[in-house]
Amino acid sequence: MEYQNAVTPTPEQVEGFLTPGAEGPIFMVNLLKFKALAEYEDGRQTELTGREAYHIYARGVAEVIQQVGGQLCFGAEVERLMLGEVEELWDQVAIAMYPSRTAMFEMIQLPEYAQISVHRSAGLAGQLNIETVDASGAWLR
């Protein structure tokens, strides 16, 4: 299995995200890989590591996600690979819940999100963002 970390979705991925999907909440599983040093697109100089820049984003998104009814559910450091093989591990795993795809799309269009997202792109070397749904409905119970 090949994989490719990315920071922004392809046009095909955006199109797929905008099509109707499962009803109810989605859980975005984020496998995060950080840059050694943050690199801001506006050229600002910084002493921040990629991890530190991303954590500025994470603290901000923890507040913004609530505006659309979502929440951060889980975040942890990757310790080791228990099963399988990859050439390089991700640094962190995070899971966020959104009431729907529409809610997530609404969030990424908020002005507050635009302000904090610069830290995301400055800090990330790449990520895998995996949309999952709770088919059992257990999340709702």
pLDDT tens-digit profile of 90-133?
999 999 999 998 899 899 999 999 999 999 999 999 999 999 99
In a domain, 72, yes or no: yes
In a domain, 139, yes or no: no
In a domain, 39, yes or no: yes
In a domain, 8, yes or no: no
pTM value?
Answer: 0.84
Residue 43 CA to residue 77 CA, distance in Å, equals 29
In a domain, 78, yes or no: yes
In a domain, 75, yes or no: yes
Phi and psi, residue 59, nearest 5°: -65, -40
How many structural domains is the chain composed of? 1
Residues in the chain: 141
In a domain, 65, yes or no: yes
* Cβ–Cβ under 8 Å, residues 131 and 28: yes
* Cβ–Cβ under 8 Å, residues 98 and 26: yes
Residue 84 CA to residue 64 CA, distance in Å, equals 35
Cβ neighbours of residue 19 under 8 Å, at least 6 residues apart? none
CATH, residue 96 = 3.30.70.100
Q: How does DSSP assign 73-126, residue by residue?
A: EEEEE-----SS--SS--SEEEEEEESSHHHHHHHHTSHHHHHHHHHHHHHEEE
Q: What is the number of H-type helices and E-type strands within the chain?
A: 4, 4
Residue 30 belongs to what domain range? Answer: 23-133
pLDDT tens-digit profile of 31-72?
999 999 999 999 999 999 999 999 999 999 999 999 999 999
In a domain, 2, yes or no: no
